Amino acid sequence: MLHSKTRWHSPAADPDTVRDLARSLSISPLLSSLLVTRGLDAPQEALLFMDGGAEDSHDPFLLKGMAEAVPRIRKALQDGEHILVYGDYDADGVSSTALMIYLLRYLGASFDIYIPHRSNEGYGLHNHALDWAVQQGVSLIITVDTGISAVHQIAYAAELGMEVIVTDHHEPPEHLPEAFALINPKLPDCPYPFKGLAGVGVAYKLAEALLDGKVPEEWSEIAAIGTVADLMPLLGENRSLVRRGLSSMRNSPFPGIRALLEVSGITMSTVGAVNIAFGMAPRINASGRLDHAGRAVSLLTTAHPGEAEQLAGELDLLNKERQLVVERIVAEATEKLSKQIGDGEPPDIIVLAEQGWNVGVVGIVASKLLERYYRPVIILDIHPETGMCKGSARSIPGLDIYAALSSCSGLMDHFGGHPAAAGMSLHRDNLNAFAAALNEYAAAVLTPEHLVPVTAADGETEIADLTLQAALELERLAPFGMANPLPKFIVRGAAVKETRKMGQEGKHLKLVLQQGRHTIEAVAFGKGPLAELLPGGTVIDVLAELTVNEWNGSRKPQLMLQDLAVPQSQLFDLRGAADAVKQAVYIKELLQPYSGGAPFRTAAVFQNSRLSPLSQLKGMSLWVYDEEAGISPLPSGQAEASGTISLLCLLDMPETPEQLDALLAAFPQVENIALLHSLRDGRDRLQIPTRDHFKALYKLLAGIAAAPTPEHEVLLRLSRQSPLSVRMLGKMLDVFEELEFIERSGGTISFVSQPSAKSLTASRQFVRLGQIAEMEQYFMEGSLRELEDWMLARRQGVS
C-alpha cells in the first residue's frame, strides 16, 4: 500500500453544463469539463480564454503614476539627461532591465544600468550605488522590479539631486517612498484593472505609454520570460502577453534567446511556458545566484550570435554548479533541522541559518525543504564577519509570509516580497527572537488542515478518454503556469501492465497502465526506484498530466505522473536478497514518503540464529520466531505491534505454521510485507509427503537398518538411493518413529520388521510435515499471487 504524497482534490463539474458547453463550442467533453471547473462555463468567455483578444490589454495610463512618469522621461530624452535603469538580479529583474535597455536604445537615450550583486549587496536600492550614479552624471533613475519599499534610499537620491521613477509590482508597504512617480498596479489607489503584472509587465506598460502602443512585437518575448519566471498568474493581460511572446519566440530575432533555447535543449518551434519555467529561467537566475546578473542581461540584449552562444554556455555551466550547491545546502539544512527537532514535529515556520550557505540559492533550498516538510521555510546565510543574515522565505497557501514578516518587521533591517515568497536581512543576534515571533504569528493563523498538502486536480477520468486528440485539444488552454496550471487528472483502478526503469542509472520510472482494453504509457521523473514496488498486476491510482509524446515522427498520448497511490496492501517479492537487512532499510526509505502523513511504523522478524548486524534496523520494532510462543519481541528492539504497521520485513521465513499464524496474529493491521528470506537449495527443500514416498523409504530402510545402524549413516545411505533431501528424509524418519516402524536408541536406528498396522494419517508428525512442506513450497516456489492468497486464507483462519 502506497499513500499519495498529497491529498487530491477534484471539483465535480455539472454534467449538464459540460454537455451544453461541449455542444455549443464543438469541443470534447474532457476540454469542456476543464473549462467549466475553471469557471469558464459561458461560451463567449470560454472562447475568449482559448483564443485571446484585444480585450485583455489595458490602457497603460490607467496605472497610477504613468501620467507623471511619461512626460518626465520625455523631458530627459529631450534634454539629453543621463538615465540610470536600476534593476534586480532575478529573472524578472533581468528581463525588466533588458526590456528597458531595448526601450532606451530605441528612444536614443543616454543611460547606464545597475543591478546589485545578490551576495555582496543584496536586494533593493543602495546608497553607495546612488553615490556612484551621481558620479556618472545621472539625474533620473528608473527602477524596474524594485523600489516600492526603498523609502530611505529614494530620500537619499533626492538629497543628491536625482529624481526617481519607481516601476515595481511587489506588495507596497504602509509607508511609501516619496519618488517622482510610483507605478505599481498594487498601490491601494491605483485604478489599473489587472493587478497580476510582473516587474517586466509594468516595464512593458511603460514602453507602451512612451511608444503610443507601438511596441515591437519581439519585446513580448522578454516580457514572457520575466512573467513566467516570477510565477505571475497566466490570466488576463499576462496570458495575452505570454502567448504573444511565445509565438514570437518560435522564430526569435534575438541571438541571446535563440542561444538560450538551444543550450536548454528546447525546440524553438514548440517552446512553451513550461520550457521557460524549467529551462530558461533557471539558467538566467543562475547568473544572479552564483555570479552577477549582468551576464544574463548581456545575453538577452546582445546583437552578436557568437557572444550569445558564449554567454548561454556560461549560464548553463553556472546552472549546473548551482544544482550542486543546492544539493549540499539541502543536506546540511535537513541535518540541522533533524538535530533541532529530534523525533518531534518541525515548527510551524522553519527558520534555519548557517555560515557558508550561498545567499544566491537559499530560496531554492527553502522551496525544497517546504516540499519535504510542508511548512513555511526561511533559509539564511550568516556573514562570518558582520553577523548579518540574508535569506529567502517560501510559504504554503495557508500562510501569507509577507504578512508574517510584517508582524515582526522591527527585528529585520529589510524585507519585501509576496504572500508566497519573500526576502529579508537581519542580524544573527535577532535570529532566535525572529523565529519565535514568526511561530507565534503562525500559531494564530495556521490550522492542522493547512499543514496537509492538497493538490488540485481537474477531474477524474478513464484511460479511454485520454486520447491523442484530447491531448492536442488541451493546448487551446495554453500557456500554462500560475493560476492556469497544466490540467491534472485522476485515474483510479488502473492495472500496471509493464514496469521498467529508464534514464541514467534507472533514475526515472515508466509504466504501461491498463483499464479494460485501453492502455497508456506513464512516465514519472525521479521515481525509478519505485519500479521495485509496482510489479505487473498492481492496481494503482494516479494523478497525472496528459501530454503528447513525439518520437521518430509518431505521436501518442502519455501521462506525466505527479503522484500515485496503491490502495491495497502489498507483498513485495524480494526473496533471495543478498543482504536482507540492507534491503529492508532500502525498502523502508522508499516507502516512507508514501506514508500519507500517518506515523510510519516498521517491524522486522527473523530467526534467533540470524547473525546479520541488526543495528542497521534503527527505528524498527524487532521480533524473533519462537518455538513455544510462535513469535516474541526482542527486548532491546522496542517491539510494538499496536496500530497500523506500514512495513513488515520478513528477514527469515517462519519454520512452522504455528510461527506463521503467530506472526499474522501479532500484526493484524499491516499495509505492506516485504519477503526478504533466503531461498533454500532445491535439494534441501521439503516436499508434500505422499504414500509413495513412504513406501519407497520403507523398502530402503528394510535393507539399510535391519540391524541397529548409526542414524547419520542411515541418512547418508538413504540420500544416495533416494531423490529426497536429507532434511526431508529426517522428518520422514520422525513419522516412522511415531508409528513405531523404526526404533531409535543411542543414536542408532533399527527397522521394526513386523510393526502394527497404522495409517500414515494417524501420525501427528505426518500431518505436520505436510503443513510445513506446504508452507515452504509457497514461500520458496509460489508466485506472489499464490503466496498472497494463501497467506490471506491463513489470516482469515487465524482471525
Q: Is residue 109 part of a domain?
A: yes
Question: Cell numbers 538551444 correspond to what residue?
Answer: 262
Instruction: Assess contact for 353 and 388: CB atoms under 8 A.
Output: no
CATH number for the domain that contains residue 769: 1.10.10
Q: What is the pLDDT of residue 799?
A: 46
- Residues 579, 796: Cα–Cα separation, whole Å: 32
For the chain, the C-alpha Rg in angstroms (whole number) is 35
Question: Cell numbers 496528459 correspond to what residue?
Answer: 546
Q: Tens digit of pLDDT for each residue in 25-50? A: 999 889 999 999 999 999 999 998 99
Domain span at residue 731 reads: 683-780
How many domains in the chain? 5
- Residues 93, 227: Cα–Cα separation, whole Å: 10
**Helix, strand or coil, per DSSP, at residue 427:** strand
Q: CA end-to-end span of the chain, whole Å?
A: 21
Mean pLDDT of 689-714: 91
Q: What is the pLDDT of residue 246?
A: 97
DSSP 8-state class, residue 277? I
Question: Cell numbers 506514508 correspond to what residue?
Answer: 595
Asked if residue 225 has pLDDT above 90, the reply is yes
Question: Burial of 211 by CB count in 10 Å (0-12 exposed, 13-18 middle, 19+ buried)?
Answer: middle
* Domain end position, chosen among 427, 454, 481: 454
Instruction: Please indicate, yes or no, whether residues 150 and 247 belong to a single structural domain of this protein.
Output: yes
Query: What percent of the chain stands above pLDDT 90?
Result: 74
Closest CA to 701 of 753, 755, 761: 753
- Residues 758, 763: Cα–Cα separation, whole Å: 9
Q: Tens digit of pLDDT for each residue in 589-601? A: 999 888 887 788 8
Instruction: Assess contact for 242 and 273: CB atoms under 8 A.
Output: yes
Q: Tens digit of pLDDT for each residue in 382-397? A: 999 999 999 999 999 9
List the grid coordinates of 759. 495409517
List the grid coordinates of 706. 535391519
Mean pLDDT of 727-745: 91
Instruction: Assess contact for 389 and 380: CB atoms under 8 A.
Output: yes
Bigger pLDDT: 608 or 239? 239
- Residues 435, 360: Cα–Cα separation, whole Å: 21
Instruction: Please indicate, yes or no, whether residues 190 and 75 belong to a single structural domain of this protein.
Output: yes
Strand partners, 71: none
- Residues 282, 165: Cα–Cα separation, whole Å: 29
**Distances in whole angstroms, Cα of residue 438 to Cα of each of 377, 417, 612, 687:** 11, 16, 47, 68
Alpha helices (runs of H) in 264-375, residue ranges in sequence order? 273-275, 281-290, 294-301, 305-341, 362-373
Q: Is residue 77 part of a domain?
A: yes
Closest CA to 141 of 215, 65, 216, 84: 84
Q: Is residue 796 part of a domain?
A: no
Strand partners, 561: 544
Q: Is residue 51 part of a domain?
A: no
Q: Which of 23-37, 264-278, 602-616, 693-707 is the least confident region? A: 602-616
Confidence of residue 532 (pLDDT cuts 50, 70, 90): confident
Alpha helices (runs of H) in 342-400, residue ranges in sequence order? 362-373
- Residues 488, 711: Cα–Cα separation, whole Å: 70
Instruction: Assess contact for 167 and 183: CB atoms under 8 A.
Output: yes
33-42, 103-112, 529-538, 694-703: which is most confident: 103-112
Instruction: Please indicate, yes or no, whether residues 304 and 349 belong to a single structural domain of this protein.
Output: no
Instruction: Please indicate, yes or no, whether residues 558 and 579 belong to a single structural domain of this protein.
Output: no
Strand partners, 543: 490, 563
- Total Cβ atoms within 10 A of residue 608: 11
- Total Cβ atoms within 10 A of residue 576: 12
Instruction: Assess contact for 542 and 576: CB atoms under 8 A.
Output: no
Contacts of 286 (CB under 8 A, 6+ apart): 315, 318, 319, 321, 322
Instruction: Please indicate, yes or no, whether residues 481 and 443 belong to a single structural domain of this protein.
Output: no
Please provide the DSSP assignment of 305-320 as one string.
HHHHHHHHHHHHHHHH
Q: What is the pLDDT of residue 640?
A: 54
Q: Is residue 785 part of a domain?
A: no
> In one letter, which amino acid is 145?
D
Instruction: Please indicate, yes or no, whether residues 503 and 400 belong to a single structural domain of this protein.
Output: no
Instruction: Please indicate, yes or no, whether residues 364 and 471 belong to a single structural domain of this protein.
Output: no
Mean pLDDT of 778-784: 88
Mean pLDDT of 240-244: 95
* Domain end position, chosen among 512, 543, 565: 565
- Residues 170, 147: Cα–Cα separation, whole Å: 9
Q: What is the pLDDT of residue 418?
A: 81
Contacts of 202 (CB under 8 A, 6+ apart): 63, 96, 144, 145, 167, 168, 169, 183, 184, 185
- Total Cβ atoms within 10 A of residue 788: 17
Instruction: Please indicate, yes or no, whether residues 499 and 588 belong to a single structural domain of this protein.
Output: no
Q: Tens digit of pLDDT for each residue in 463-483? A: 999 999 999 999 999 999 999
Q: Which of 153-162, 320-329, 555-564, 666-675 is the least confident region? A: 666-675
* Domain end position, chosen among 416, 437, 454: 454
The phi and psi torsions of 669 (rounded to 5 degrees) equal -120, 85
Q: What is the pLDDT of residue 642?
A: 56
- Total Cβ atoms within 10 A of residue 159: 10
- Residues 605, 599: Cα–Cα separation, whole Å: 20
Contacts of 293 (CB under 8 A, 6+ apart): 87, 88, 89, 90, 93, 94, 97, 115, 118, 287
Q: What is the pLDDT of residue 627?
A: 79
Please provide the DSSP assignment of 94-151 as one string.
HHHHHHHHHHHHHHT-EEEEE---TTTT-SS--HHHHHHHHHTTEEEEEEES--TT-H
Q: Tens digit of pLDDT for each residue in 402-438? A: 999 999 999 999 898 889 889 999 999 999 999 999 9
Instruction: Please indicate, yes or no, whether residues 577 and 514 belong to a single structural domain of this protein.
Output: no
Instruction: Assess contact for 546 and 557: CB atoms under 8 A.
Output: yes
Q: Respond yes or no on whether the N-terminal peptide bond of residue 479 is cis (omega within 30° of 0).
A: yes
- Residues 318, 513: Cα–Cα separation, whole Å: 39
Q: Specify whether the backbone of 297 is left (phi greater than 0), alpha (psi in -120 to 50) or beta.
A: alpha
Mean pLDDT of 730-755: 91
Instruction: Please indicate, yes or no, whether residues 578 and 547 belong to a single structural domain of this protein.
Output: no
Instruction: Assess contact for 569 and 1: CB atoms under 8 A.
Output: yes
Q: Is residue 45 part of a domain?
A: no
Q: Tens digit of pLDDT for each residue in 603-625? A: 999 988 876 677 788 888 899 99
Instruction: Assess contact for 438 and 406: CB atoms under 8 A.
Output: no
Strand partners, 515: 518
Mean pLDDT of 496-501: 95
Q: Is residue 335 part of a domain?
A: no
Q: What is the pLDDT of residue 325?
A: 96
Instruction: Assess contact for 11 and 575: CB atoms under 8 A.
Output: no
Please provide the DSSP assignment of 46-83 as one string.
HHHHHH--GGG---GGGSTTHHHHHHHHHHHHHHT-EE
Instruction: Assess contact for 477 and 34: CB atoms under 8 A.
Output: yes
List the grid coordinates of 566. 496503491
**Distances in whole angstroms, Cα of residue 260 to Cα of each of 102, 231, 255, 287:** 18, 20, 9, 13
> In one letter, which amino acid is 346?
P
Strand runs labelled E in 618-684 = 621-626, 630-633, 647-650, 672-675
Contacts of 36 (CB under 8 A, 6+ apart): 13, 14, 17, 18, 21
Confidence of residue 683 (pLDDT cuts 50, 70, 90): confident
Sheet of 350-355, strand order: 350-355, 377-382, 388-394, 421-427, 414-417
Asked if residue 761 has pLDDT above 70, the reply is yes
Bigger pLDDT: 663 or 154? 154
Instruction: Assess contact for 23 and 46: CB atoms under 8 A.
Output: no
Provide the mean pLDDT of the chain: 92
Instruction: Please indicate, yes or no, whether residues 192 and 247 belong to a single structural domain of this protein.
Output: yes
**Helix, strand or coil, per DSSP, at residue 723:** coil
What CA dihedral angle connects 723, 725, 731 and 734, to 10 degrees?
Answer: 60
Q: Tens digit of pLDDT for each residue in 634-646? A: 876 554 555 688 9
Q: Is residue 337 part of a domain?
A: no
Mean pLDDT of 113-120: 92
Q: Tens digit of pLDDT for each residue in 534-543? A: 989 999 999 9
- Residues 645, 648: Cα–Cα separation, whole Å: 7
Instruction: Please indicate, yes or no, whether residues 83 and 232 belong to a single structural domain of this protein.
Output: yes
The phi and psi torsions of 173 (rounded to 5 degrees) equal -75, 175
**Distances in whole angstroms, Cα of residue 583 to Cα of each of 521, 531, 645, 678, 680:** 29, 15, 18, 12, 19
